[in-house]
Every structure is written in C-alpha cells, then in structure tokens.
Amino acid sequence: MRLPFMAGTLGCGGGQEHDKENGMSQRDVERTLGRLLTDHGFRDAFFRDPGPACVTLGLQLTSHEVEALLRAPRPALVSLGARLGSRICRLHVQRSEIAGPGH
C-alpha cells in the first residue's frame, strides 16, 4: 500500500515501491514536475521541505522519486517555467498580501 509522502520521512512507499501501483506513482511524478515548473510557491515549498508540500497536494511519491526531483537543478526549473508563459503558470499570492495592509 502506498502512503502519502509524510513530513520528515523519505521512505513513504514501503517495500515494493514500483509494483502494480506504478501508474499512480508516474502520475504523481508528472504532477509534481508540472507544479515545479508552473508554481513558484510550490517549488519553493518543495525544495525547502518536500513532505508538507506533497501532503498539501495529496501527492504520493516514493523516497527515490523525491530524491530524484530534489536533484533537479532549481535554476533550470525556474528558467523553463519562465519560458512557458504566464498564461499556464500559477499566480502565487503570499498570505500577507491577501490580508492587506494593517491586518
């Protein structure tokens, strides 16, 4: 059984990480890569602490997948994301910007 990626651990898949659930794993890797390219808020959170970032989106990644994604050169992700165009990139709004001045 695959478990959601949990904060503080990398061994979230337990045992055979790429058996019949490989399709789910591949889909979550692709979702993660897409977010790393198009959502700079997620990218920052993932490289700071991938556990909570993955849990927030319900991503189920194995420890090997997380380690591989963390090896992706962050500047290359930023550069490629910038080339994709603003229409497909996610707007990232800080919580402090939502509250407005004086809140």
The DSSP secondary structure of the chain, one letter per residue, reads ------TT-S--S-S-TTSTTHHHHHHHHHHHHHHHHH-HHHHHHHHH-HHHHHHHHT----HHHHHHHHTS-HHHHHHHHHHH-TTTSPP---HHHHH-TT-
Name which residue leads in pLDDT, 69 or 85. Answer: 69
| Domain residue ranges in the chain | 22-93
pLDDT for residue 51: 93
Give the pLDDT confidence score for residue 18 in this predicted structure. Answer: 45
Q: What is the pLDDT of residues 3-37, one digit of tens each?
A: 344 433 333 443 344 444 556 689 999 999 999 99
Does residue 66 have a pLDDT over 70?
Answer: yes
